[in-house]
Structure 1
Amino acid sequence: MTRILDQPYSLNLQVTSVLSLLATFPHPHLHEYLLDPYLTLAPGCRSLFSVLVRVMGDLMQRLQRVPHFRAKLLLVRQQLLGMVPGEQMDHTVLFKGVVVLEEFCKELAAIALVKGPPEGPP
């Protein structure tokens, strides 16, 4: 996940698919590790939430250096939906990574909503 902005589109789809499936698995430790943003970790350990926060920080820095990033991101979204022909442009891998990241975050939010808080002792 840390390389989602630099990896090929197909690899990002595979990685996020596996993580989504793991998040739906009914196990309290998986639920906690993948869906709990308040999980206390040992120094040097990362949760999915901490990785996503780091990726978002990296993304915000990169987008400041890309001229017309909103228009280019919209064009890449349309290309992925097949609405416009796919033309090569700068930062295509980055923008495809952004689209996958956004959709993955929506999917995680839906999974967390459906699963609710993990079952445990009161």
Structure 2
Amino acid sequence: MSRPYSLNLQVTSVLSQLAAFPHPHLHEYLLDPYLSLAPGCRSLFSVLVRVIGELMQRLQRVPHARAKLLLVRRQLLGLVPGEQMDHSVLLKAVVVLEEFCKELAAIALVKGPPEGPA
């Protein structure tokens, strides 16, 4: 959340490539929200749920968060000139997370459920 935009992009890119890789264990671990894990272990889904919760709490403290988020998204798309604003690192992290979740959903849809024993 408080990492630079470029680092967030790199991490999500690597995770997306791993999720798209055709391996049943990677598919299960990265794309199955109902995966049973040993106590203390976390899945990508559980980490995303925690990060989203933290982001939502932090966004509630940002004045005019919706408008600023829209402006940051337009800046990242190159539609408006980039200007400095408060909370830009947080807002860019929200945009990266939103796009990453969309990408994971698309990968899960295309891959379908992992193939098990017939």
Which bracket does the TM-score occupy, shorter chain normalised? over 0.9
Equivalent residue, structure 2, for 1:63: 59
* TM-score for the superposition, normalised by structure 2: 0.98
Instruction: Kindly indicate whether residue 83 of structure 2 is the aligned counterpart of residue 87 of structure 1.
Output: yes
- Alpha-carbon deviation of 1:63? 1.1
* TM-score for the superposition, normalised by structure 1: 0.94
Percent identity, aligned pairs only, is 87
Instruction: Kindly indicate whether residue 68 of structure 2 is the aligned counterpart of residue 78 of structure 1.
Output: no
Counterpart among 4, 12, 15 of residue 16 in structure 1: 12
- Alpha-carbon deviation of 1:58? 0.2
- Alpha-carbon deviation of 1:83? 1.1
- Alpha-carbon deviation of 1:64? 1.0
- Residue by residue over 1:83-122, the C-alpha shift from the partner in whole angstroms, topping out at 9 and shown as x without a partner, is 1111111100000000000000000000000000000125
Instruction: Kindly indicate whether residue 28 of structure 2 is the aligned counterpart of residue 32 of structure 1.
Output: yes
Counterpart among 100, 103, 112 of residue 104 in structure 1: 100
For structure 1, list consecutive stretches of 5 or more residues without a partner in the other structure: none
Q: 2-side partners of 1:112 and 1:92: how far apart?
A: 30
| Number of equivalences | 118
- Alpha-carbon deviation of 1:14? 0.5
Secondary structure of the 1:41 match is coil
Instruction: Say what the alpha-carbon RMSD is for the aligned residues.
Output: 0.7
- Alpha-carbon deviation of 1:42? 0.9
- Residue by residue over 1:18-61, the C-alpha shift from the partner in whole angstroms, topping out at 9 and shown as x without a partner, is 00000011111000000000001111111000000000110111
